[in-house]
Chain A
Amino acid sequence: MPTIDEYKPGANHFLMGNEAISRGALEAGVHFASAYPGTPSSEIIQRLSGAAGAMNLHVEWSTNEKVAAEGAAAAAFAGLRSLVAMKNAGLSVALDYLTHLAYTGLGEGKGAMVTAVCDDPDAHSSGDETDSRWLAKFACTPLVEPATVQEAKELVKWAFDLSEEFKCNVMFRGYTRLCHASSTVEMGTPERIEKKAFSDNNRSVTPYLAKPKHAAVLLKLEEIRERFEASPFNVYQGPEKPELLILCGGSGWLCAMEALEALDLTERVGILRLGTLWPFPNRVVRERMAGVKQALVVEEVDPFMEMHLKELLADAHMEEKVIYGKGSKHIPAYGEITPDRVIQALSAIFELEPQGRGNDYQKAVSNLSDELVVSRGLTWCAGCPHRASFWALGRAVKADGRNAYVTGDIGCYTLDVFPEGKEQMNLLHAMGSGCGLAAGFGQLGKFDYDQPVIAICGDSTFFHSTIPALVNAVYNRSNMIQIVLDNSATAMTGFQAHPGTGFNAVGDPTTKIDLEALCRSLGCEVAVSDPFDIKGTVKTMRDLLKRDGGVRVLVLRRACEIVRMKAEKNKPFAMAILEDKCKGEECGVCSSAFRCPALYQDSETGKTRLKEEMCSGCGVCTDICPFQAITREETAS
């Protein structure tokens, strides 16, 4: 696959939304790019890392979104162009910095900074579907949002120019159906802006000064609003005098167009699409509203545009207009926008009967689906160390018998709480929260809390936000165990490097941060175990549980199976099942309890069988089987 800088200008290529954002940044002359990976944003920086050498960029996986934003801001203060990318949850981490940055702006160095934040409506791969648009407003930061993959590329360039002109960070909102959509994109020309980095700005946020700075930012936002009123990314299409106006941002546009065509309403309904969302381009919207009696706001998750529309109508004494959207319950305030949702809303407003697939077909498909379709739960890959880790944890907790309470964190190990996981984790919230929560529970002894407390995090999450929580736990003498599932990758988001891997974003070797030494230096008792050594791991866990008091850390170290397989390309063990020893369904330990996807029970014999094509040859099931019915033999390699 060519790197993102190699596509020839003028050529059409099939790109993912995130790749188009990367390419747009290159065409804007970006110098510095940083991020902590998070779905659906990760590929932006991943693709730029491939171009780092040829285009002389600095590209980094930062340890979290806040330091990623701070690094990008530094580059902008030194006169360079920088891009920082994150998912919606990451914006909350970076927000403290970004709110303060808004007050000072980027200074006089003619740098530029774009913050790409990628929301996940429908929470396909997130713990929430928070709507980042409010946070742009909260942080006094202009916000733009593209409608198509091609436009994503163009809008990133526009955002960089806007940032340089107004000396402020500009927020660019992506969303799953843009970031992870792929489309035909026409290439522009990558820019190399040769510039010596230099900084002599004095820009600080302090009490007393904050108020006048806030006032100045509000004035600047009014200037930006004027620019937005004339933006080429705010487009009206439709009849001169529509019966209804659809107001949408980037994410609703293609759905709205499709719905109008499906219902044959293109001659009756117009669409005003805004690519610049904050400051809200009041005049553009007001002028369009003057000509219609009613509007439908098509946007996903919160009624952001809808509330600004209602506000401007109130200000303009145009309250007689009828507004459909979240308030009227025509579009739900959760989940992503689909063509069907818009078709439904328009059908209700215009009292139309949407075209179905015919009663006979509907009936047949419902009956057959009810009869035959079963759910397909998510699970860890065959050979995943997490399955073994949670298996051992379940054994240790049970043997301990004191009703241990387990707090979890964000990564592949989150699958533990899914129906096909091991259901060991009791609480699961945000990145790094596992340790923070455990530290809290570990303080409750004086209130007669007598359950052992165990926090789980991954290696990448450890560096992201567990460290401050762990320091807090040690400092305040909490009573807890922190388990770090060290699989040598940020696996869930695509195996990105992190400070514990010894490599950086562009693949160069770097200092490998030793997390055990770090924990020991904090005064924690640290143990290390291989999760594939089930017996040893259970014993270590039980020992740590027995030593009540203080902060104990257990590192369970074993590389992610996908990472290992890519590097080693072999199966460590050849596995076989001895049918005469297998007790089959009456036992069920390897199948119904351990649930490795490479095992199944033969429906005729009831015995366990191996799915050769799925098996990774990890050998763990040999140790799981109570009847020694699964054998493993080391392979030659």
Chain B
Amino acid sequence: MTWTNDPQNLIVCGIGGQGNILLSRMIGRILTGKGYRVNIGETFGAAQRGGSVYSSMRVSRNRDFGPLVPLGSGHLILSLEPLETLRMLQFYGNPDILTVTNIQPIYPVGVLSKRVEYPNLDRLLQAVKELSAGTWVLNATQIAMDFSAPIVANIVLLGALAASEALPISMEEVEAEIRASFPGAKVELNLKALRAGFQEASRN
């Protein structure tokens, strides 16, 4: 990729428990290792319990930026859930934004209690495409389930991010980070998930 925006503003979003924080930390560590200044803002505590969670990330070659991305100024959304992708576009979207998104919905608990209705998925994905300059969509959850490990959907998505080339992150660097982040027994599974995500997104 060419580095046209400094800082690059990245939003990593999903639902509490999907591994969103781990995902943003891994990206942060990779870019820090490459000499970028990375700042991430997160909230946790109450926000974790089934609610929308997101990390906002600033990547610069020069200096620290505050952890919060100004409204309408995102460059890339990496999302573990399609409704959350649109929710983040609502705040951070603009005509140049790129999105990499999992398409497997997680219904809000309000759907059960009939307080809300989950939007039609095709309509939702169409909206995400309309509001993005480029999109990479994949069912990261299904791919992870194929490995009998729904928890690695975040790593599948990381593979898709590498394929998108929306950030200066190569597969070799991500693989090295996985080897460093996970205990030995988990490395192989996560590498498989990563490569599957890369392949799936490369076909986009």
Contact = CB atoms under 8 A, between A and B. Distances in A.
Given A377-B108, A378-B50, A379-B109, A180 B44 contact: yes
Contact of A125 (B43, B86, B124, B150): B43
A605 interface: no
A373 to B, nearest CB: 5
Contacts of A601: 112
B50 A377 contact: yes
A362 to B, nearest CB: 8
Interface size class of A (residues with CB under 8 A): 35 or more
Contacts of A258: 65-66, 70
B184 interface: no
Contacts of A177: 41, 66-68
B159 interface: no
A600 interface: yes
B51 A378 contact: yes
A262 interface: yes
A343 interface: yes
Contacts of A569: none
A376 B109 CA distance: 7
B56 to A, nearest CB: 9
Tell me which of A369, A376, A419, A593 has the highest count of chain B C-beta atoms within 10 A of its own C-beta: A376
Contact of B86 (A180, A368, A375, A597): A368
Given A374-B117, A375-B110, A595-B113, A365 B89 contact: yes
Contact of A361 (B51, B83, B93): B93
A166 B56 CA distance: 40
Interface in B43-65: 43-47, 49-52, 64-65
B118 interface: yes
A125 B46 contact: yes
A182 B25 CA distance: 8
A595 B15 CA distance: 17
Interface string A319-349: 0000000000000000000111001000000
Given A124-B46, A358-B94, A412-B49, A183 B109 contact: no
Contacts of B176: none
B50 A379 contact: yes
A415 interface: yes
Interface in A352-381: 356-358, 361, 364-365, 368-369, 371-381
Given A125-B45, A492-B45, A492-B46, A14 B83 contact: no
Nearest to A183: B39
A476 interface: no
A381 B50 contact: yes
Majority secondary structure of chain A interface residues (helix, strand, loop or mixed): mixed
B93 A365 contact: yes
A592 B28 contact: no
A177 B119 CA distance: 32
A361 B50 contact: no
B192 interface: no
Contacts of A372: 83, 86, 119, 123-124, 127
24 contacts: A39-B45, A39-B46, A125-B43, A180-B43, A183-B37, A254-B64, A338-B68, A340-B70, A358-B95, A368-B86, A368-B131, A371-B119, A376-B15, A376-B51, A376-B84, A377-B109, A378-B46, A378-B47, A415-B49, A419-B110, A420-B50, A420-B110, A595-B112, A613-B141
Contacts of A380: 49-50
B83 A180 contact: no
A255 B29 CA distance: 23
Given A262-B70, A412-B49, A419-B110, 15 more contacts: A14-B28, A125-B43, A125-B46, A181-B42, A254-B64, A258-B70, A368-B130, A374-B108, A375-B108, A377-B115, A378-B46, A378-B47, A379-B49, A492-B46, A592-B112
B189 interface: no
A599 interface: yes
Contacts of B45: 39-40, 124-125, 492-493
A13 B112 CA distance: 43
A377 B70 contact: no
B107 A357 contact: no
Interface of B: 15, 17, 25, 28-29, 32, 36-47, 49-52, 64-68, 70-72, 83-84, 86-87, 89-90, 93-95, 107-119, 123-124, 127, 130-131, 141, 145, 150
Contact of A592 (B86, B94, B113): B113
Given A375-B108, A597-B109, A613-B145, A369 B86 contact: yes
Contact of B39 (A181, A371, A376, A378): A181
Closest 5 CB pairs of A and B: A125-B45, A254-B66, A39-B45, A357-B72, A374-B116
A356 B108 CA distance: 31
A415 B15 CA distance: 16
Nearest to B126: A368
A257 B39 CA distance: 15
A628 interface: no
Nearest to A603: B118
A415 B86 CA distance: 26
A420 B47 contact: no
A431 to B, nearest CB: 14
A28 B190 CA distance: 39
A150 interface: yes
A39 B50 contact: no
B118 A184 contact: no
B25 A377 contact: no
B50 A376 contact: yes
A595 B114 CA distance: 10
Contacts of A375: 108, 110, 116
A338 B92 CA distance: 13
A150 B64 contact: yes
Contact of A14 (B32, B95, B118): B32
Nearest to A420: B109
Interface in A24-77: 39-40
